[in-house]
Structure 1
Amino acid sequence: MMSKLPETMTAVVCHAPNDYRLEQCQRPVAKQNEVIIKIEACGICGSDCKASSGADMFWCGDDPWLKAPVIPGHEFYGVVAELGEGAAEHFGVTVGDKVIAEQIVPCGKCRFCDTGKYWMCEVHNIFGFQKDVAEGGMAEYMRVPANARLHKIPDSVSLEDSALIEPMACAIHTVNRADIQLDDVVVLAGLGPLGLCMVQVAKLKTPRKIVVIDMVDERLELAKAFGADVVLNPSRDDIDKEVKGMTDGYGCDVYIEATGHPSAVTQGLQIIRKLGRFIEFSVFGAETTTDWSVIGDRKELDIRGAHLGPYTYPVAIDLLERGLVTSRGIVTHDFSLNDWEEAFKLASSTDSIKVLLKP
């Protein structure tokens, strides 16, 4: 039985681009069918870094998608600390259970939610981006509303693995979108936390060859340990020559873009074969332009987006519990909430891979 919860809590609060503050806030209280979780860890995502620096996709227009002031953080997990009336039955949890909520809080009413495609919810509230409705996990406590999707985490799953469930779920969805076949040559560009998760998941699909591309040699070595067959660094390797050379000049069957850099898009269009599958995952900080005739007239490509981790959280939890995928080598640093500024700075650099905040 947990002791009485405090009335206030410490949290990182986003007020505007380049205006994040550590504050004392009122602790949320569970209403009907709601859960309060005590945060154990919250990862800093690339989108958190882009939002903090003012990327247009979060802040543009008179009615920006990011509704400040808001507590950021969607890569969280924690322990059930308080149950509102009916919440135990609604979610099937009890106080003390280790849990994670999916990053989206679907409205349950739009055409996408109504047809089971909740991850494309038209309202699209994501934890950490909309004040009051979906406050995030960079805090000591957070509220899980009744329309959220909550999952239990076995006690055998480590803190670091638990903190990586959200990125792993996204990686699983991305790899599933690639429809990888046994004889495919798969090229994955970008070895941030998501890309390194994707390497592990793609390996479980047993394609003919997995080729990874990144500018950081340490990440290339980690990808090799995760099962990549070929590692390429654009600063010294001719990517087009290397990929064409191992595919009889045709190009790769699947290209997964996970860098968030415009140059990786044009690179992928160049090295993918005709009738190939191009999977776009990244959040971009700037627009990219390309010759669209490559997509249609020249190669007739299948362009597929990948967004969030629909129906894949239970899969991620199962794979982590069985040791088929791991956070080892990916989670590189952790900080207290008091040191959030240093944590964000490090998360925005290539000196880290995944940085956690641990209240």
Structure 2
Amino acid sequence: MNDSQPQAARSDAQADAPPRASTFDAAVAVEPGRTEIRTFERPPVTPSTGLLRVAITGVCGSDGPYYQQLPQSHGPLILGHETVGHIEEAGELARKHWGLKEGDYVALEEYIPCGHCEYCLSNEFRLCDATDWRLGGMRYGATGLRTAPGFWGGFSQFQYLELNTVFHRVPSHVEPRYAALALPLGNGIEWAYLQGGAGPGQTVVIQGPGQQGLSCVVAAREAGAAQIIVTGLATPTDQRRLELARQLGADHTITVDSEDVLERVADLTGGAMADLVIDCASGGTATVTTAIQLARKRGTVILGGQKRKPIPEFNSDTIIARFLTVKGMRGHSYQSVELALQLIATDRHQVRRMSTHMFGLSETDIALRTLRGEGVENAIHMTIDPWK
């Protein structure tokens, strides 16, 4: 009799619990420039995998090329890799490997590393070949539906979790829309501070006032840089972003259409030029040449904005003559994302101002078109809430 009562109580509790949804919706990129909402069967979880209930996913500038071109090798896919959510379900091996339990509030990195190569073992998993889609690797938000079970992107109500997923715990008081800033802000911390070495007494020039450039402003200010200069265009979009750059901590902004950037930086530095130059501008290659010209002797140049084309008549002698350090950047490290979450949690330097627009799942196309200037105005960091 005593044994049957607890069993009955457990059965009642289970009966009262809402059943897990058997289907979910996702925005699928089906052809260049178009996504459509599709309904999928919820995939089964194995002992070594899991499922994330997506709270929100940020829209990254790198989502734009996939959306606009959709490489045939990828086929239809669910975009979105700046994902924040709760562990919905996880197998026993996965829980032990992750050190997480169902219900935990986390932010994901896009990388799915192998876990055993020299780069993974030296904590540089972003360089692991398994994370490079050009080599057949996988990444969240860049792996197609044809790779089973297919639900590898964050513009979805649920996202499948591979065993080697890289997680970050999110403080419970941080809203998902702000937690989604962790990866772009992590890039800024990686580029300006951990790799660029920004610090007290230095002049830092940041080319391009987009998500990454603004994140570099925050990182340089947090690192104690003496003078932060941000360059941009005369377009209304860039002018609004330059204003935000000043709010986030930039000391000076330069409109390159109407000002000679080399002369202005020389004037602001007494002719010494910049200790650190970070090129975050997308598009043309001219900013690479300008970045090298802006750096002082023994200075550092960080190249973060992909040009997707060679630099014509590039003169490497300038690098030698000025004894420069030039680094190409590839994303963020685990440490930089952890530091980003700390800044977001306390809203240091008003970093949450970068989060400007939230969209529902059915508005995914609007958000992605905004990346190419065809959607909403005044957007900095946008997010997709898949439950709206």
Instruction: State TM-score, norm by structure 2.
Output: 0.84
The answer to whether the 8 A contact 2:27-2:35 is kept is yes
- What is the CA–CA distance in structure 1 between the aligned matches of 2:275 and 2:330, rounded to whole Å? 21
Q: 2:212 aligns with which of 194, 207, 210?
A: 194
Indicate the residue corresponding to 1:301 in structure 2.
324
1:269 matched to 2:269? The reply is no
Q: 2:282 aligns with which of 260, 271, 276?
A: 260
Indicate the residue corresponding to 1:205 in structure 2.
223
User: Superposition pairs for residues 56-75 of structure 1, below 5 Å?
Assistant: 59=71, 67-75=74-82
Deviation per CA, 1:271-313, whole angstroms, max 9, x where unpaired? 2222210001123344433523344343232111222221222
Cα distance, 1:110 vs structure 2: 2.8
User: Superposition pairs for residues 42-53 of structure 1, below 5 Å?
Assistant: 42-53=57-68
Q: 1:27 aligns with which of 15, 18, 42?
A: 42
Q: How many residues align?
A: 351
CA RMSD of superposed structures (Å): 2.2
Q: Which runs of 5+ in 1 are unaligned?
A: none
* Distance verdict in 2 for CA 1:50–1:290, change over 3 Å: farther
Give the letter aligned to residue 188 of structure 1. Answer: I
1:107 matched to 2:114? The reply is yes
The answer to whether the 8 A contact 1:346-1:355 is kept is no
Give the letter aligned to residue 69 of structure 1. Answer: P
Cα distance, 1:16 vs structure 2: 4.4
- What is the CA–CA distance in structure 2 between the aligned matches of 1:72 and 1:166, rounded to whole Å? 15
* Distance verdict in 2 for CA 1:86–1:121, change over 3 Å: same
Q: Greater helix share, 1 or 2?
A: 2
Indicate the residue corresponding to 2:19 in structure 1.
4
Indicate the residue corresponding to 1:283 in structure 2.
306
Give the letter aligned to residue 4 of structure 1. Answer: P
Instruction: Kindly name which structure, 1 or 2, has the bigger radius of gyration based on alpha carbons.
Output: 2
Q: Which runs of 5+ in 2 are unaligned?
A: 1-13, 132-137
The answer to whether the 8 A contact 1:347-1:353 is kept is no
Cα distance, 1:325 vs structure 2: 4.8
Give the letter aligned to residue 177 of structure 2. Answer: E
Q: 2:340 aligns with which of 303, 316, 322?
A: 316
The answer to whether the 8 A contact 1:279-1:306 is kept is yes
Cα distance, 1:183 vs structure 2: 2.0
Identity of aligned residues (%): 25
1:170 matched to 2:193? The reply is no
The answer to whether the 8 A contact 1:44-1:355 is kept is yes
Deviates more, 1:349-358 or 1:226-235: 349-358
User: Superposition pairs for residues 85-234 of structure 1, below 5 Å?
Assistant: 85-124=92-131, 125-131=138-144, 132=147, 135-175=152-192, 176-215=194-233, 216-234=238-256
Which contiguous aligned blocks of 4+ residues in structure 1 show a shift greater than 6 angstroms? none
* Distance verdict in 2 for CA 1:181–1:339, change over 3 Å: closer
Cα distance, 1:98 vs structure 2: 1.1
- What is the CA–CA distance in structure 2 between the aligned matches of 1:328 and 1:162, rounded to whole Å? 9
Give the letter aligned to residue 241 of structure 2. Answer: R
- What is the CA–CA distance in structure 2 between the aligned matches of 1:97 and 1:326, rounded to whole Å? 27
* Distance verdict in 2 for CA 1:287–1:356, change over 3 Å: farther
Deviation per CA, 1:302-346, whole angstroms, max 9, x where unpaired? 111222221222222222223325443311111111111112112
- What is the CA–CA distance in structure 2 between the aligned matches of 1:327 and 1:78, rounded to whole Å? 21
- What is the CA–CA distance in structure 2 between the aligned matches of 1:122 and 1:110, rounded to whole Å? 9
